[in-house]
């Protein structure tokens, strides 16, 4: 079980790094929508924010709390794992590899952190 948790923690770190690297794409996405009107810009910003927070910020928080050994680490890891599993089907329409990676990180995180405590009191 320990190795599954370690793999999930590594996956959370990769997701966080990919989020930082993909921030440069956001301005071009908004710029393409400018011609279509304010509603489309607002929808793009809202969707982008939801996607970024759920697939990049949440795993980053999980990784950070696991790294620091905080009491809330298990909860953050379980939340990030569940979100990864939930996002797998929509991501599959864009990239199958990404969907499989998300599902694998999510399942490993659930199995690895469900029963074992991360911090010893």
Q: How many domains does the chain have?
A: 1
Task: Note whether residue 59 is domain-resident.
Answer: yes
Residue 120 inside a domain? The answer is: no
Q: Let me know if residue 19 belongs to a domain.
A: yes
Q: H/E/C letters for each residue in the chain?
A: CHHHHHHHHHHHHHHHHHHHHHHHHHHHHHHHHHHHCHHHHHHHHHHHHHHHHHHHHHHHHHHHHHHHCCCCHHHHHHHHHHHHHHHHHHHHCCCHHHHHHHHHHHHHHHHHHHCCCCCCC
Q: What range defines the domain where residue 38 resides? A: 2-114
The answer on pLDDT for 24 being more than 80 is no
In the structure, what pLDDT confidence band is assigned to residue 104 with cuts at 50, 70 and 90?
Answer: very high
Share of the chain above pLDDT 70, in %: 93
**12 within some domain:** yes
- Flag whether 30 is in a domain: yes
In a domain, 121, yes or no: no
Q: How do residues 50-99 score in pLDDT, each as one tens digit?
A: 888 888 999 999 999 999 999 899 999 999 999 999 999 988 888 899 89
- Which one has a higher pLDDT value, 24 or 60? 60
Is residue 81 a part of any domain in this protein? yes
Instruction: Calculate the average pLDDT of the chain.
Output: 86
pLDDT at 45: 81
Mean pLDDT check: name the lowest of 30-34, 37-41, 45-49.
30-34
Please report whether residue 13 resides in a domain: yes
The model carries a pTM of 0.81
């Amino acid at each position: 079980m320990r190795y599954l948790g370690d793999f999930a923690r590594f996956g959370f770190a990769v997701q966080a790094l990919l989020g930082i690297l993909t921030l440069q794409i956001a301005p071009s996405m908004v710029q393409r929508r400018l011609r279509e009107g304010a509603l489309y810009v607002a929808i793009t910003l809202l969707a982008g924010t939801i996607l970024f927070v759920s697939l990049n910020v949440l795993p980053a928080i999980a990784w950070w709390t696991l790294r620091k050994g905080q009491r809330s680490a298990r909860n953050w890891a379980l939340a990030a794992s569940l979100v990864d599993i939930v996002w797998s089907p929509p991501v599959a329409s864009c990239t199958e590899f990404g969907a499989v990676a998300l599902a694998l990180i999510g399942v490993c995180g659930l199995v690895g952190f469900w029963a074992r405590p991360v911090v010893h009191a």
